[in-house]
Amino acid sequence: METNIVGVGVGISDRFRAVVEEKTARIATIATKAQSLDVKVTHRSYRGGHVEDETVELTLIGRGPLVRAEARDADKFVALDLAVDKLIEQVRRAKERRIDGRHHPRGARFEKGTGELAGIDVHPVSADTLHAVSTGAIPTLEVEEEYSPVVIRTKNFDAEWMTVEEAVDRMELVGHDFFLFVDARSDHPSVVYRRKGWDYGVISLTTQAAPAEELVG
């Protein structure tokens, strides 16, 4: 498996490269289809006496979806260990879910006979409640924005059409608690999210996105 290491604001020593190669061998034992591992180390310094830290981001590339993991620590070697543990755990969970799903389907699943989603605990809001909110009978709270020292990271992605089952798999691989997608069966922008255990939920917007074939054309 090929390894690519990049440092942002920090030099990459031969010792760190050697440790990454050791970790790569460990990852390869569980991610047998992986082709390459991208390692990004970012050094951050803060004003006001805060301790500097190192962020290690791992991206596993192979056949299928990307697998990502990230960890932060004052010591980049510690951050690397934490990120590797996260990455391996995400790959392991995704494998176990696929194996378990073949024998004991749980979580969100599509019932071909009825055309409905089963195994999810989502309750739609009643029409009366929606009408009350739209007419102002139920007031909405407007909060003025206040300054916050917390930096909010934003990411933009192109829309991807997939089934609920595929979205759950992608969510597990990237290690997030939720995953945004467009449902290929209904063209509704949707999000799957993790509940307790192996249970998952699905939330969808009533607005439909343009079918994928129209965007390609």
pLDDT of 81 = 92
pLDDT at residue number 212: 62
- Would you state the pLDDT for residue 40? 92
CA distance 86 to 139: 43
Q: Give me the pLDDT at residue 17, please.
A: 92
Burial of 155 (0-12, 13-18, 19+ CB in 10 A): exposed
The overall pTM is greater than 0.85? no
Scan for tokens 């990455």, then name that residue. 87
Burial class (CB in 10 A: 0-12, 13-18, 19+), 87: buried
Tell me the H-state helices in 31-163: 76-103, 127-135
Instruction: Report pLDDT for 82.
Output: 92
Nearest by Cα to 124 from 33, 202, 21: 202
Q: Going from the first residue of the chain to its last (217 residues), give the mean pLDDT of each consecutive group of 10, the final group possibly shorter.
A: 88 91 87 87 76 87 82 90 89 73 53 60 67 72 56 72 85 81 87 77 81 57
